[in-house]
A and B are shown apart, each in its own frame.
Chain A
Amino acid sequence: MTAAAVAPSISQARIQVADAQRPEREFVLAAQRGDHDAFAALVHLHQRRAYAVTRAIVATHEDAEDAVQEGFLHAYRALDRFLPDQPFGAWLYRIMANSALDLVRRRKVRDADELTEAVALPFRDPGEADELRTRLGEALTHLTERQRSVIVLHDVEGFTHGEIGGMLGIPEGTARSDLHHARATLRGILRDVRSDL
């Protein structure tokens, strides 16, 4: 099947999702039987959240996008091993987190200096006029990668400590501790910035 042949089926899947007639479990079961439309529907349902997970871990928007694509490919390959009674989202986001962590590791090996600069400018918007955003972007470079991921996954995306621990492969208590330290670090740096103004 070619990409051109896939396009109409994606649209059909989108309509099906919009109608929300079929529960997620049915999409999963159909996708496991090799139904591309069903997998497209799962992609449609989860890609935003998947992006949020990967974006919390990698340094740039482009890397997050790459990690999302890789993550969905991994998920598709591993789909036959997924038990449909489990929550699909949790399973998928763990794959996404692993995909993002893999990407970070590969980037580190390839070009550590470039990564450091990218962390300093984590937002893709070239304007970046908002001062808080700028200061915060700088402050984030003072966090470890894991602390940064934990605070974004918790404070921005609303994942629980347990979910974050599952995604990043760390104990729940460590996720809690990372969050505490990340907040304290950011608060301290931003307070120093204010006193300098």
Chain B
Amino acid sequence: MSDLRLVHGHDEDDVTRGLRAIYAAPGDEAYWSELEARIMHRVVGMELGWWTELDHWTRPALLAAAALLLACSAALFRAHESEQTTAYEALLAPLPGPIETAVRPMLQDTRDGTVRYILSRQ
């Protein structure tokens, strides 16, 4: 059936009626309840936003920072203790023989060898 009764004077009525049919909002009440719930879900989600996200990460971040601090402190303490032990042991350890005594014969040998070489060439 055609509703195109375009007799002059009826046009706008038909147009308005047609427009109302085309642009009609959904009539199902369940649709509006669902849309309302979706809107409110987004509103609540938006409000929680990054603050909540930050809140979620705060506790693990604090724990991680505390653990890192403990590990650093322990490492520093161990390094300091090791340095002290080394220094103490170095003080107590007996001194090796004089370096001069150990080195001199070799130097003398080398020097004598050089002199002998020069004299032999002359």
Contacts and interface: CB of A to CB of B under 8 A. Distances in A.
Q: Do A and B come from one complex?
A: yes
Interface stretch (A83-91, A103-111, A127-135): A127-135
B64 interface: no
B21 to A, nearest CB: 5
A137 B18 CA distance: 9
Interface string B1-30: 111101000011011111111110110000
A60 to B, nearest CB: 11
Nearest to A61: B26
Given A48-B32, A73-B46, 10 more contacts: A47-B39, A52-B25, A73-B39, A135-B4, A136-B18, A155-B15, A156-B20, A183-B15, A190-B4, A194-B4
A156 B16 contact: yes
A122 B48 CA distance: 37
Contacts of A47: 32, 35-36, 39
Contacts of B45: 3
Contacts of B41: 3, 6
Interface residues of A, number: 48
A37 to B, nearest CB: 9
A178 B17 CA distance: 19
Interface stretch (A20-28, A38-46, A93-101, A162-170): A38-46
B12 A132 contact: no
A156 B6 contact: no
A190 B23 contact: no
B43 interface: yes
Contacts of A132: 2-4, 14, 17-18, 21
A6 to B, nearest CB: 5
B80 interface: no
A110 B46 CA distance: 26
A175 interface: no
The 5 A-B residue pairs with the shortest CB-CB distance, nearest first, are A136-B18, A132-B3, A3-B41, A194-B6, A132-B18
Contacts of A172: none
A68 B3 CA distance: 32
A39 B43 contact: yes
A193 interface: yes
Given A47-B32, A73-B46, A190-B15, A10 B22 contact: no
A159 interface: no
A152 B22 CA distance: 10
Nearest to B22: A123
A151 B47 CA distance: 37
B37 interface: yes
A99 B119 CA distance: 107
Contact of A190 (B11, B16, B36, B46): B11
Interface in A39-74: 39-40, 43-44, 47-48, 51-52, 55-56, 61, 65, 68-69, 72-73
